Each structure stands twice: as structure tokens, then as C-alpha cells.
Amino acid sequence: MITVYVPCDSAALSIGADEVAMAIECEAALLGLEIDLVRNGTRGMLWLEPLVEVATPAGRIGYGPVRPEAVADLIAAGLLDGADHELNLGVVDELPWMRDQQRLCLARVGITDPLSPEDYVANGGNAGLRRALSMPPADVIAEVTESGLRGRGGAGFPAGIKWKTVADTEDDLKFVCCNADEGDSGTFADRIVMEGDPFSLLEGMTIAGYAVGASEGYIYLRSEYPDAAATTGQAIETAREQGWLGDDVLGSGFKFDIHLRLGGGAYICGEETSMLESLEGKRGMVRAKPPIPAITGLFGRPTVVNNVLTLTSVGAILADGGQGYAALGLDRSRGTQVFQLAGNIKHGGVFESAFGISLEKLVNEYGGGTLSGRPLRTVQVGGPLGQYIPADGLDIPTDYEAFAAAGAMLGHGGIVVFDDTVNMASMARFAMEFCVAESCGKCTPCRVGSVRGVETIDKIVAGVDRDRNLTLLNDLCDLMVDGSLCAMGGLTPNPVRSALQHFPEDFSTLEAGQ
Amino acid sequence: MTLYADHDLGTPAPAQDAPPLTLEIDGVSVTVPQGTSVMRAAALAGIDVPKLCATDSLDAFGSCRLCLVEVEGGRGTPASCTTPCADGMKVNTRTDKVDKLRQSVMELYLSDHPTDCQTCSPTGGCELQDLATTVGLPDMRYGLEGINHLNLPVDDSNPYFTFDPTSCISCSRCVRACGEIQGTFALTIEGRGFDSKVSASAGETFLESECVSCGACVAACPTSALQENSVIELGLPTRTVKTTCAYCGVGCSFNAELQGDELIRMVPDKTGGANEGHACVKGRFAYGYASHEDRQLNPMIRERITDDWQVVDWDTAINYVAQKMKTIQTEHGVGAIGGITSSRTTNEEVYVVQKMVRAAFGNNNVDTCARVCHSPTGYGLKQTFGESAGTQDFRSVAKADAIVVIGANPTDGHPVFASRMKRRLREGAQLVVIDPRRIDLVRSPHIEAAYHLPLAPGTNVAMVNALAHVVVTEGLVDRAFVDARCEDFDGWAEFISSPEHSPEVAQEVTGVPAEDIRAAARLYATAENGAIYYGLGVTEHSQGSTMVMGMANLAMATGNIGREGVGVNPLRGQNNVQGSCDMGSFPHELPGYRHVSDDAVREVFEKLWGTRITPTPGLRIPNMFDSALDGSFRGLYVQGEDIAQSDPNTSHVYASLKSLDLLVVQDLFLNETAQLAHVFLPGTSFLEKDGTFTNAERRINRVRPVMAPATGKHEWQIPCDIAQAMGYDMSYDDPSQIMDEIATLTPTFKGVSFARLDALGSVQWPCNDEAPEGTPTMHVEDFTRGKGRFMVTTFVPTTERATRKFPLILTTGRILSQYNVGAQTRRTPNVMWHAEDILEIHASDAEMRGIHDGDEVTITSRTGETVLRAVISDRMPPGVVYTTFHYPLSGANVVTTDNSDWATNCPEYKVTAVQVTVGTGLHDTDVELAARAAR
Amino acid sequence: MITAPALRLAGDILAQFRHLPDDQAVDTVANHIRMFWDPRMRAQLLELATSAGADCDPLVSRVVTSLGD
């Protein structure tokens, strides 16, 4: 029987993957061919979606992008045998994009049926959890600490230290919360993992629960990801059936269960304390820290809050040992990062690599430059609150500290590319507008400051009291950075100031309010 | 913001037993308990860091960002309110950096705030305005043309305060106060970011919302966004007097704030032991009755109750009473007259009434309105523990792990205590509610009772016996406590272990599933600290005293006595129920609960009073009524109690009172009883009184005169004058002398004096040489009577039961906005929340009778009938109907029977078999005629 | 409309102590009445108990005798 793969990832679905799958089944049936059609996750080469693969003795041969109406031709041309065709990409694993990655978080994404427990185990799933359960919890934490794993949500806090704090805080009830409220513009790695390999997230959370002594986990998932929600929810059910979750995880006696909760569309709920408030059923408002969630978290209990990629990395670390993971990357940025290439880029998608690869290489070599073909003007890394890096400043290694030194931030690894048609004053204004729209409203610098920020930028652009308003904007940015309660207000000046610094010429041309 | 000079430390105090640490703030060394915020430590060192969202009654919030400081060696500029102190920390609260940041914050605030500081009502009381001066008024570079909130509509729906969102700075203090302090969670922030605005419930007006008008939000507001209407209309007060609320038995301390003699507002006192800065809609706002036009300020007399009142001067009235009383005694004997004291008056005022009766009248015919509410508490706790009082202070509830509420509705009846209890419940304490009705505590925001046992009215004793049965038969008895501290356990244990007390048998009687009874018993017995709180749903039964003893048994058996977090705690109805009982108001007891038959005790009083005291008990209130009808009791002096409205079986009461030769009523208003009186003596409101109230936790609070008596005479002087006119020498220059006399005569009050109360704020009796600062928790080492005594509590069902003719059981209760017979609250805007008494009835009972929501229905019992509006309610179980008794017209007591507690005659208000029929078939009863004639 | 509260109440008190041996119950009830009742209520009880005669609860009769009014 021939095995054919058609991704069920929502990026693929959005451009007809379901129709492609149906067409393949129809054509095969018409031809009386028995095929095994597997709905896998995405390989991450989104410009090639829907990417159809067929298993051949030489490996999985890819075709893409495949339109539904092209299926009949493709089948006729011998797709099921891996035959040549203009859409034939060759063996997918040997494409440079795939070959050059170090896929740990994405190890199974695109390879397996995301909801098949057999596929999961056959491809190394649960190895990390099994090893963890055979060790004392403190050793699990030590292993994670040794790996150098830092939080992938953006702040880059060492995961092992966070876990140790939770483990050392005595309570009869502790939680592991996965922050899957992936709201940054240009980011989609969490979604791709949850849609493509949800068990790996569950495994990471279970390891975290075991390490810190938690009995319950919550995944806080944004409601804009219905496919991820469906897949993750189904994976939780399956994991319970498999005994991977529940009263006796993998027969170890360890009790752990995971619940899925959907957010209500607020960006601020990606901030960990707001997320906890929301999980408690309250309005998503930022909590002041201290107390930190590791000590006083969900429902006031010690709580691990980690991003999807952080938790997904844990399985690989425990399976292969912390040392091996730490061998990847450089300086204090260890292991791999799942970079997401987006915006005006020719080859968009996810690319997992050890830290250190240069931004320039990611954008121009793997990303292929702008989609429009026009000159690249700037790149924003780390979401809507990240700095704008000018085209001539891209040659920096992807490393938390190196980015900081360059006045930028790595954040969640989202890279958004702009060509030379962008107006940077309007991008600065947009940063403030974004803050107006997404501020939880708790602290004054963010709640009122963002509104005044928009108004002040408008005045600057309109040429009203330009110098005075530039000073005022600078004072406001100081206040937002130093005085905001959380990173929402605190980082909003990043895009504003970087736009002003690198592209001052744009601030005298735009009409107010444009 | 209050006039009362209160140094707000910004954040609450941490646990006092936390280890100390030392830090340096602006070069000043400060030592504070661990967990103290930098802001609080700074304030304690005399350095007030600017703040708007922080106040020491609320948890730190960290939103205004004015309190930013720099910590040496630390990163950034943390908010001092949310940053805990660390040992050796060096904090700078004033640096160029933070000064500039604060100015930037202020600049943002003022870019969206009205510029009418000169005319805005709280001038001199606005924290925003004060701070703008402190941090330096910025030069407003944003201008005023940006988007803003200056056109939002004002919400003036609440009769007592106004919400003006244009002045709101979104600090959430009101929202947090509503949740953290009051526990109602009616307020919320609606919208996000710049659109955030304070909202009551789901965008309703304050009045329509779930807001209970406690005013915590108004007190918390740093600007004029939430402001008392009185302040808006009259301006800020200019002087303040600390005094005590005259509503329920919680006894909240207030600062009465005035302009001259005009009361502007009542501000709860943060140092008040009972309330610690909180209040309810009654105490904070409903004081208008004191100056209501119905208030009577002149003495009046009339020969017959059908005559018109004649206004007379005090001397005439006093002499008239004295002569009439003497004449009655001459003609019908010394015992033919008596008096009733009031639980609404001060200890000193009560004391002089009972002294007048015992010394000038020469008999023991003195009783108190506590007869009809908490007399079983006095009896039951005295029999078991040895003291007629609750065992704890209110603060104790903060350490309770399992809380059992029996026959009480704290959120309506004792709202300020309820807020404390709810706070503890939100922290995780478990709750058991034993009540026929699903009171709010059973399920309200962030609170849910672990068990609600909706027992049939009248079956309390069966329930408490079943709970005790579980404790004894399941091995949950605290043997060490029982062996060391109690007596008569074995006999009781044998009694209670009998299968007839099992939950399975009790299920048949109470209607509550046995497994729920068992689970509730286990919860209480196995909790680290189990506390019982109860109200009139326990006492106002024919087995009220038995039930009180049953609860005491349960507490002793589980060792839940003698420390914080436990106890048996009556929630007293009126402000001075405890005090009026303490003061010797019962006919068998002299002050301090000492029996009149005790020669040694009597001798002490006789010596000081210079008169002989009768050694046999006098008449109780119901005996007075019975004796009035048989002609042996003819003269009655009633102090501040509307017995015609509040006592059961109204027609019996009316008939009794009408047969008296002399009925003297001393009250603020011409109440229902006054309609039948011959003499009316105007009383004083709590704003005019000088004395003390004793609340449900035995706390003696000072009541200080806010203004001179409007009647020209202090109320404590009236009985003295009558006694004097009757030939008994009784006079004081000052109420403090009365307390001094009480202290001389009463061992538990030995250390009490106005001077000590002024110094300590309040004390909880016993206050004597052993406990000079009072006794928050009783029975710590030993019970007052030595050993705690287990009492056998046989369940004797009431004779009042549902029959074919009267198939429903009527029970009664209170509502938040009204108080008791309503004489006070009905004369305030509180009527906006509760304009009439209503009958709550289960849907199936209503449907069976063709009753629709809002119908007028007739309630008939074997003693009478009355008309109420019906409301179909799922709070009631089928077979039980419920009403309040705040309005005279509804005449709830027209239908109540004269059944009473076997030990104390406390009426069985809580169980009346009735029929309910749709429509108003009211007949012209004697009562109705009398009431109509009076109007 | 004089009811018979004294007699009814005496019965109510007695009901609480039925678990005791008769002598003890009589003593307890009599003592309660001595402690809490006004003399004229006791007189009323005597009168009512006397007029009830054999219809009066025998233990209540013994209480009345014991009070010695």
C-alpha cells in the first residue's frame, strides 16, 4: 500500500489541503488504488503548501505547492510512485531548508500523524518522559538546568531555575501552565507544534509536573487557533487513554492530568500573570510581581509557566541528556530556536536551528529576501514590541545577549520582513496603537500613555511643536519603559524608538492620522 | 478620603509574628516584619511615598506607578507598594529619575481629568490634587485636546452617593474594596486599556446592580469620582467625633463627621475593633431617621388612649408617671408595675431603668427585648460554659477552617461581620449552612457552602443531636479536651449515641439527607478550627435553649473552644443586646448575670443602692402581658422597644397593653406601642447619647455625643428623675458615674471605665484585674464555670406543625437594607431597596394555590391573618414560606403564636403553621382596628 | 382570654428532663421554676394544676407539691 501525506496544519488547510487530500483519495479510488492517506503536520515550508508527500523506497518525495485541481494530473503523472513532475521537489528531507535545520522541537512535526500514539512512540516520543520518571525529580531539574534551556516565550528566563523555585516552594497543590497564547505578529511556531506534534507538548508538561511536584497542567491556548485546539484537545484524550496522563503516568505511580483552556482574544493574556488571571476565570489583568508565579501562581499556588517551545524542548533534553542540548548554540543561548520567517518574505515558514545562526542568513538565504522582490528595508524580530532592525544591521548572531547588545530582542523568534515601501512613522504609530488596543488598562503609563503616544506621534508628523513633542515622546517612552507594570507597556517604546533612530526621515512626511 | 486624621500606610500589615528585618530608606533605618512592603516600611519611617492606587485596607495592586523607587544594586524602578522589604536593602524614594517618572505619570493623569479643582466637592480631600502638588504640577504638555473621559454620564441612582466617571482615575480601589473588603464583587472594570471604566455589575446603574451600598467604594475612592451626596450638597465636614453605630450587634466604630451640628457623613473607623474600617448601608448611610420629621422631641401625656396627646414639660411628665405608678402600687401592690429595657439604648441607660425598677419600684419586674431574641443564648451558654455570652471576638473567624452558620443570615443581618467571614471563606475555609432558606452565603461570588442542610423549621435540636451523634459514634471526639476540661460527658455520650439520634433518623425529622448530615459533622469535627455562628434561627424556637446547649455540646466534644478560630458565637440582633442582658435586665438576674436569690450578691447591691432587693424573680415580658390581662399588672414603662409590633401574637399583645392603667413609652417615634400609651417620653438618637454599647463579641464601645440631646434631656436622666419623683434618691452628674457604679458592682466589669475605654478604644469583658485590657477569647484555660458541662438535649418537637388547615410553615428573617421593626430604616432612603415586606414562597406551593409572582396573598394562622405580596422564590424549600417584619402594616406578628422557649419564654417566631391564599380576604380584626385608629 | 401558659410551660420544661429518673426530673423542674419564675406565675401553676386534678401530668403535680407554694 502506498502512503501519501497531506498536511492538516491550518496554514496548509487555508490554501486547500483538505481539498487536495480529498482529490487524492478520489483519484486513487477511481484508479482502484489502495492508498494510506496520512494527515501530517507541516514541514514548515509554508510557501510550498499544500506539500504532498509520497513514501518511496528512496524516501518521502515531495510535491508542492499542490492545487486541488492539479491532483488528477499529478496522479496521472505518477505521483504515487514518486515520479518526476514540475512540482516534484525531490526527497523532502534532503532539501536545503530541511537538511540545514536541527529539529528538536520539530523532530516529528510533518513526519508523523499528529494524533497517532503509535507514530509518536515509534519516532522517539515519550523517551524523555520515561527517562525522567526513572530519575529523582531533583535530577530532572538538574538536567534541565544543565541543558541551559531558557524560556522561549521571549524573556529567556532559565527554565531550570524557575522549576527549582516551584519545586522548593512547599504546597500540596502545584500547577504547570503552558502559555500557548501565541499572539505576537509573525509567530506561529507554537501553533505548528500543537497541530503537528501535540504529544510532545504534553510530554514536556508532564516532565515539568513530575520535576516540580505538580499534579495538574493547563494549556492556555488562544481561541484564534481552532485547529490547534481541536488537535491538542484530542491529544489529551488520547494521552489519557494511553495512560500517558492520569493517575498513574506510564505506570510510574505519578499522577498528572492536563486541561485545555481557550483564551478570549486578548493579546495581554499572553503575559504570564494575565494568563493566570484568565485561567482563574477572571478578567485578563496583569498582576504585579512579586510575588512571582513560581511561588504564587495559578489560584495562588506555585506554578510553572512556560511557553510551548520551552516545554516541547524538555522531552528532547531528557531523552538525549542536558549536555547534548547544551552543546548546541553559543554563550548563554543554548539549544535550538524555532525561527519563524514572515512578513514580506519569499520563503516563509519555520526553521529550527541552534542559536547563533545570523539573522542575515535566516532572512536572505533561507527566507530568500522579500516576496515583492523590492529592496528589504527593515526586519522586526520578537513580535510587535520588538525593535526594527535596518537592512544593513542584519548581520547579528541569533543569541539573546547579542541581540540585546544590538538594541534588539529575540523574543519568541518571530522575524517579520518589510520592503522599502514601508513608512516607519506609521509603524511607530502602529506600535502605540497596538498598545492602546491591547493594554489591559491596569497601569497608567500603558493605559493613558499609549493613547497620548499616538496623539504625540501624530503631532510630530504633522509638524506641530516638533521638538517639544519629540522630547515629550521621549519622556513618555522613558516612563513606559521604567514605569509600566509589565512588558506590554515596557516594550512598546522599542519599535517607536528604533523607528525614530534608524528612520528619522519618515517622521516628517506622514500626514497626521494616516 | 476622610477627615479623620488617618496615616495611610499604603499596604496592609503582614503577619505580626513574621520575623523582623532591617532596611534603610532614604538613609533612615527601619525594622519591620518580613512581608512588609517598601511603601509601608517607608510610611512607618515617616516617609510617605506618593501613591494613588495603594491604601492600607487593600492588597497592593501596583497600577498607578507613582510609588516607584530605586533600590541600590537592583534593576529598574520597582513600585514600592508591591516590593517586599529585604534585610539590608537600601531604598531611595527620591531620586531625579523617580521624581521625573512621577511627574510623567501625573502629567498623564491630568491629561484626562477635569480642571475644576477649585470647585470640585472634595477640595482638601482629593488625593490626586494633593499629589499633584507633592510631585510637582507638570506643565501639561499633552494639552487637553486628546481623547478623554470628560463627557461620560454621571450615575446618581444611589440615594447616598454619586459616581462621576469623569473624575475617575481607574485605580480600581473601589472595585477592589467591593471585592476584598465587602466581598460582594458588584463593581468591575468594564472595557480594556483606555476604555477601562468602573461599572456596577453588567453596565447597570449602581442602584439596579448587585451593589449593596456598603460605601466601601466611596471610602476607597481617592478622588471625587465616588462621593457621598451629603458632601456634594453640603461640602466637607469640619469636625469629627468617634462613636459607635446603633444598628445591629456588630457594633461598628465610626467617625461622625460634621459641619457644626450638621452630620455630613459617617466614616467607619479603621481602629474599630469590630469593623476595622468597614461598614454597611445602614451604619454608614441610614442615619437620617435621627433628624426625621416624625421624631418626637417633647414629652406628652393623655388620660385615655383615645384622647389626643397633650405636650407637657419634662417635670409634668415625670411627676405624672411617678404619681400614677405609685397610685397603682398603692391600689394593686408593689408588683403591679414594671419596666422593659431596650437593647438599642446604652448600657448606662439600661442600667438605670433596671435600677429604677428594682430600687424605686421595689420589684424585679424588669425584662428586656432580648427576651424575644437571645434569651436562650444567655440560658444555654450559662448552663454549659458558665457565661451568657459568645466565646470569641469577630477577628477570630479569620482563623476558622470550618465555619458552621446556623439560623443566621449574616450578609443581611450582620453584614460587616459577614464580610470578614466571606474573606475567610474565600481564603479556603469550608462552610456549612444549616437553615431552611438558601441564604446568600450558600452560594455567592467566590463562595460556596460545602453543605447546605435545609432543615424543616423547628428541627434544629434533631439536627444538632445528629451532628453530635456522628462525632461520638465515629470516634471524632477530642478526648483529651473532654477529659481535661469538661464534665458529664459519659451520660451525654450515652444519650447522644442512641440510634434515635442517628442522621438516618434525623433525616426523617429534618428532611435533610443523612449523608449530608454525616459529611457536615465530619467536616466540622475534623477541621483544625471549627467555629459555630448562629442567630435567631436558633433561639426563636420552643427549644431555643436546648439548641444553644446542643451547639455548646458539639463544640466541647470536638475541642472547639478556648482559642482563636473556634467557639460558639451568637450574632446579636441589636446594637446592645449583649449589654442590656449584661446590665441586669432579666427579672431573675442582677447585673453580671447574678441571680437575685443570691444573698451575698444582693447584699452588695442593697448596700450601695440603700434599698432592699426582692429575692424572687420578677415577671418576664409574656408574663407581664398575661398578668395585665388578669389585672395583677397595671403599669408598664417601656424603653425603646416597639413591643406591639415586635412581640408575637399581636392581638394578645394589644389586648394586654390596652388593659394597662399606665403605659409609658420612651422612644424616638410614636411607634405602634405608643398608640396605646398614656405617656410618651422622647428618647435620644445614638448621635445624642453618651455612654457605651456592648456588641456581640462582648466589646464595650464608647458612644459619644455628636450633638446635644434634641429633647433637652439625656435619656439616662429620665429613669433617674422618675425614681427621684417616686421618692428614691437616684442621680448622676455624668454617665461615666453610672459605668463606675456598674464596675463597682459587677466583677466582669471591674476594670471598665470611660477613661479606660477612651484609652484602649474598646474592651471586651471580662475586664478586671486578671484581664485589664479585656478578654477577646473566653474559656481559654478553664470554663467560666470551671468545667464545661455537657447537657442532655432531648428533642421535643414544637406543637406548632403543619396541618391540613395550615399546611405551610412560616418563618421570618431580615433583609440588609432594613432593620428590625424598621422604625429607623423606614425613615431613610433605604426604602428604595425594600419598600415592603414580602412573602417568599416556593413555586410549587404557589402554583398549587394559584399564586403568581407579585400577587397579594392572605396569610392565616391559628392566631390571626395578614396580607403580604408574594414573591416566588427558589430560596425556599416547598412547604416553607418566609417573610421579614420590617413594616408595621404587614403585621407578620399578627400571625405568630404564643409558643415559646421552655426555659426562657423566647417566642417561637420561626415556626408558625399558616395557610396562604391568593387575594386580600382580610377581616377587621381587633388589631387592624386599633392600628387604623392609631393612624 | 387567659390561656394556661404556666401549666403548659411547666409541661414543656418537664419534657426536657424526661430522660432523668422521676425524682431527679421533679427536682430539676422545680428548681428551674424557682430560679426563673415570678411568684404569681407559680401561683397560677398551683391553681391550674389543682383545678386540673387528675388530668394534670403526675410529675407536674409532684413539681407543684415540691415547690410548696
Q: What is the pLDDT of residues A204-256, one digit of tens each?
A: 999 999 999 999 999 999 999 999 999 999 999 999 999 999 999 999 999 99
If you ran DSSP here, which 8-state letter would residue A155 be given? Answer: T
Residue numbers of the domain that contains C43: 22-67
Residues with Cβ within 8 Å of B729's Cβ and at least 6 positions away in sequence, in order, are: B610, B723
Per-residue pLDDT band at C4 (split at 50, 70, 90): low
Whether residue B195 and residue A449 make contact (CB cut-off 8 A), yes or no, is no
Q: Domain B808-934, what fold?
A: Barwin-like endoglucanases (2.40.40)
Angle between helices A137-147 and A198-212 (to 10 degrees): 120
Which residues does residue A341 pair with via DSSP β-bridges, in sequence order?
A349, A415
More confident residue, B814 or A495: A495
Asked if pLDDT for residue B902 goes beyond 70, the answer is: yes
Per-residue pLDDT band at B372 (split at 50, 70, 90): confident
What is the reported pTM? 0.92
If you ran DSSP here, which 8-state letter would residue A258 be given? Answer: E
pLDDT of residue A85: 94
Distance of CA B884 to the CA centre of its chain: 16
Residue C11 lies in a domain: no
pLDDT of residue B921: 58
Residues with Cβ within 8 Å of A129's Cβ and at least 6 positions away in sequence, in order, are: A203, A206, A207, A210, A244, A249, A250, A315, A318
Residues with Cβ within 8 Å of B862's Cβ and at least 6 positions away in sequence, in order, are: B806, B897, B913
pLDDT of residue A479: 97
Residue C1 lies in a domain: no
Residues with Cβ within 8 Å of B770's Cβ and at least 6 positions away in sequence, in order, are: none
Residue C57 lies in a domain: yes
Residue C2 lies in a domain: no
Distance CA A452, CA B749 (A): 64
Nearest to B105 among A285, A442, A479 (CB): A479
Residue B282 and residue B830 in contact, taking contact as beta carbons nearer than 8 Å: yes
Whether residue A439 and residue B192 make contact (CB cut-off 8 A), yes or no, is yes
Residue A128 and residue A244 in contact, taking contact as beta carbons nearer than 8 Å: no
pLDDT of residue B929: 47
Per-residue pLDDT band at A511 (split at 50, 70, 90): very low
Neighbour count for residue B483 (Cβ, 10 Å): 10
- Give all chains having 3 or more CB-to-CB distances under 8 Å with chain A: B
Whether residue B146 and residue A455 make contact (CB cut-off 8 A), yes or no, is yes
Residue whose cell numbers read 394534670? C56
Distance CA B585, CA B701 (A): 19
pLDDT of residue A155: 87
Per-residue pLDDT band at B504 (split at 50, 70, 90): very high
The CATH number of B375-570 is: 3.40.228.10
B76 interface with A at CB cutoff 8 Å: yes
Which 47-66 residues of chain C touch chain B by CB within 8 A?
none
Distance CA B756, CA B760 (A): 6
The class that CATH gives domain A2-99 is: alpha beta
The class that CATH gives domain B20-135 is: alpha beta
Distance CA B735, CA B754 (A): 9
* A52: closest CA of chain B, how far (Å): 44
- Taking CA atoms, A121 is separated from A126, A129, A258, in Å, by 6, 11, 19
B866: left (phi over 0), alpha (psi -120 to 50) or beta: beta
The CATH number of A329-419 is: 3.10.20.600
A424-508 carries CATH number 1.20.1440.230? yes
Backbone phi, then psi, for C30, in 5-degree steps? -60, -40
Whether residue B109 and residue A448 make contact (CB cut-off 8 A), yes or no, is yes
pLDDT of residue B5: 58
Per-residue pLDDT band at B907 (split at 50, 70, 90): confident
B727 interface with A at CB cutoff 8 Å: no
Say which amino acid occupies B716.
W
Which residues does residue B870 pair with via DSSP β-bridges, in sequence order?
B839
Mean pLDDT of B91-106: 95
Which residue in C2, C9, C16, C67 has the most chain B C-beta atoms within 10 A of its own C-beta, making it the best mutation to test that interface?
A: C16
Asked if pLDDT for residue B933 goes beyond 50, the answer is: no
pLDDT of residue A512: 41
Q: Domain A117-326, what fold?
A: Rossmann fold (3.40.50)
pLDDT of residue B53: 96
Nearest to C13 among B495, B792, B902 (CB): B902
> pLDDT tens-digit profile of A410-440?
999 999 999 999 999 999 999 999 999 999 9
Distance CA B766, CA B389 (A): 10
Segment holding A433, helix H or strand E? helix A424-438
pLDDT of residue B3: 54
> pLDDT tens-digit profile of B753-779?
999 999 999 999 999 999 999 999 999
pLDDT of residue B325: 96
Say which amino acid occupies B329.
Q
Which residues of chain C lie closer than 8 angstroms to B902, CB-CB?
9, 12-13, 15-16
Start-end of CATH 3.40.30.10 domains in chain A: 2-99
If you ran DSSP here, which 8-state letter would residue B907 be given? Answer: B
Per-residue pLDDT band at B15 (split at 50, 70, 90): confident
Segment holding A446, helix H or strand E? helix A444-447
Backbone phi, then psi, for B482, in 5-degree steps? -60, -45
Segment holding B92, helix H or strand E? strand B90-92
A370 interface with B at CB cutoff 8 Å: no
In this complex, does chain C touch chain B, defined as having at least 3 beta-carbon pairs under 8 Å apart?
yes
Residue B20 and residue B85 in contact, taking contact as beta carbons nearer than 8 Å: no
> pLDDT tens-digit profile of A75-127?
999 999 999 999 999 999 999 999 999 999 999 999 999 999 999 999 999 99
Asked if pLDDT for residue B924 goes beyond 70, the answer is: no
Say what percent of chain B tops pLDDT 90. 81
* B145: closest CA of chain A, how far (Å): 10
Write the ipTM. 0.93
Q: Is the peptide bond before A57 cis (omega within 30 degrees of 0)?
A: no
Mean pLDDT of B58-80: 95
Asked if domains B300-373+576-764 and B808-934 share a fold, the reply is no
Q: pLDDT averaged over chain B?
A: 92
Start-end of CATH 3.10.20.600 domains in chain A: 329-419
Which residue in B37, B49, B65 has the most chain A C-beta atoms within 10 A of its own C-beta, making it the best mutation to test that interface?
A: B65
Q: Is the peptide bond before A290 cis (omega within 30 degrees of 0)?
A: yes
pLDDT of residue C3: 42
Per-residue pLDDT band at B816 (split at 50, 70, 90): confident
Residue C49 lies in a domain: yes
* C53: closest CA of chain B, how far (Å): 22
Asked if pLDDT for residue B649 goes beyond 60, the answer is: yes
Q: Which residue of B has its CA nearest to A444?
A: B64
> pLDDT tens-digit profile of B259-315?
988 999 999 999 999 999 999 999 999 998 888 999 999 999 999 999 999 999 999
Burial of B595 (0-12, 13-18, 19+ CB in 10 A): middle
pLDDT of residue B20: 95
Burial of A473 (0-12, 13-18, 19+ CB in 10 A): buried
Q: Which of A337, A348, A334 is nearest to A309 (CA)?
A: A337
pLDDT of residue B2: 53
Of the candidate ranges B61-65, B233-237, B325-329, the one whose mean pLDDT is the lowest: B233-237
Mean pLDDT of B652-657: 92
A278 interface with B at CB cutoff 8 Å: no
Asked if pLDDT for residue B124 goes beyond 70, the answer is: no
pLDDT of residue B456: 93
Neighbour count for residue B828 (Cβ, 10 Å): 23
Which grid coordinates belong to B301?
401625656
Whether residue B111 and residue A456 make contact (CB cut-off 8 A), yes or no, is no
Say what percent of chain B tops pLDDT 70. 97
Q: Is the peptide bond before A291 cis (omega within 30 degrees of 0)?
A: yes
Per-residue pLDDT band at A374 (split at 50, 70, 90): very high
| Range with top average pLDDT, B38-47, B817-826, C54-63 | B38-47
Burial of B768 (0-12, 13-18, 19+ CB in 10 A): middle
Distance CA A221, CA A260 (A): 7
The CATH architecture assigned to B300-373+576-764 reads: 3-Layer(aba) Sandwich (3.40)
Which residues of chain A lie closer than 8 angstroms to B192, CB-CB?
266, 268, 438-441
pLDDT of residue B894: 79
Distance CA B80, CA B42 (A): 9
Mean pLDDT of B680-694: 95
Per-residue pLDDT band at B865 (split at 50, 70, 90): confident
Asked if pLDDT for residue B818 goes beyond 90, the answer is: no
Whether residue C1 and residue B495 make contact (CB cut-off 8 A), yes or no, is no
If you ran DSSP here, which 8-state letter would residue B358 be given? Answer: I
Instruction: Please state the domain count of chain C.
Output: 1
Asked if pLDDT for residue A514 goes beyond 50, the answer is: no
Q: Which of A47, A27, A49 is nearest to A37 (CA)?
A: A27
Q: pLDDT averaged over chain A?
A: 95
B42 interface with A at CB cutoff 8 Å: no
Residue A387 and residue A348 in contact, taking contact as beta carbons nearer than 8 Å: no
pLDDT of residue B935: 42
- Give all chains having 3 or more CB-to-CB distances under 8 Å with chain B: A, C
Which residues of chain B lie closer than 8 angstroms to A440, CB-CB?
192-193
Residue B255 and residue B277 in contact, taking contact as beta carbons nearer than 8 Å: no
Neighbour count for residue A467 (Cβ, 10 Å): 8
Residue C16 lies in a domain: no
Which residues of chain B lie closer than 8 angstroms to C17, CB-CB?
794
pLDDT of residue B815: 83
Asked if pLDDT for residue B4 goes beyond 60, the answer is: no
Distance CA B293, CA B280 (A): 24
